[in-house]
A and B are shown apart, each in its own frame.
Chain A
Amino acid sequence: KNEVEQSPQNLTAQEGEFITINCSYSVGISALHWLQQHPGGGIVSLFMLSSGKKKHGRLIATINIQEKHSSLHITASHPRDSAVYICAAFYSGGGADGLTFGKGTHLIIQP
């Protein structure tokens, strides 16, 4: 069964802290997406990666295919980073859109 597990479910941190959100998946995938959803509802695609590491500004995403694990890091966190972060794994043949979503990590950065 295709599964995606995220941890932690909830995370509260102080401004400036280094944040790590983890994602594990159960079987081989072809790519993994990290998404950000703000309270208003809109979802932004942060990264799509299939190996190694990607960086965009203060955000870094890594994936270890052998360990079936991905992490999203936020450096120098800021209150505007407060959002829900969702990991979604792309499984070939995994349903009409191929995506299995994690339950999300609710991040709050306090000033």
Chain B
Amino acid sequence: DTEVTQTPKHLVMGMTNKKSLKCEQHMGHRAMYWYKQKAKKPPELMFVYSYEKLSINESVPSRFSPECPNSSLLNLHLHALQPEDSALYLCASSRGGRGFNSPLHFGNGTRLTVT
């Protein structure tokens, strides 16, 4: 069982839909991450929240919008996605802030399909 909980596990959405992915951890970790993973590729970092402050990866399109309501929750809001955005979206957390080297705890991911 993972200590990072992601919902939903699977999501199918059309290109005009608005949906949100949710992530939750109660380990007191102060850094939370969104990664995107395509098949047979390593995870690619999208966003990092460190002490509830956002570090933006400038290569992420604006149709992805992160939100960190508090230190335990992380959301990823999706709008007007493209079929190429279909992937596994992984949330992770770690003790300490951004750049603090500690073990990552990953969720089981949300498998997103954009039709």
> With A33-B104, A96-B55 as given contacts, are A43 and B43 in contact (CB-CB < 8 Å)?
yes
* Count of residues in A whose CB is under 8 Å from the partner chain: 25
Cross-chain contact A92 with B99 (CB below 8 angstroms): yes
Interface: A57 (CB within 8 A):
no
Interface: A48 (CB within 8 A):
yes
Taking a contact as CB atoms closer than 8 A, the residue among B40, B90, B101, B111 that contacts A43 in the complex is: B90
Interface: A45 (CB within 8 A):
yes
A40–B48 CA distance with the chains assembled, in angstroms: 24
Interface contacts (Cβ under 8 Å), in number, total 64
Cross-chain contact A97 with B33 (CB below 8 angstroms): yes
Interface: B105 (CB within 8 A):
yes
- By a beta-carbon cutoff of 8 Å, the part of chain B in contact with chain A is 2, 31, 33, 37, 40-43, 45, 48, 55, 57, 88, 90, 92, 98-99, 101-109, 111
30 residue pairs from A and B, CB less than 8 Å apart: A30-B101, A33-B103, A33-B104, A35-B106, A40-B108, A41-B90, A41-B109, A41-B111, A42-B2, A42-B107, A43-B43, A43-B90, A43-B92, A43-B106, A44-B2, A44-B106, A45-B104, A48-B101, A48-B103, A93-B99, A96-B48, A96-B57, A96-B99, A97-B31, A97-B33, A97-B45, A97-B99, A99-B104, A101-B42, A104-B40
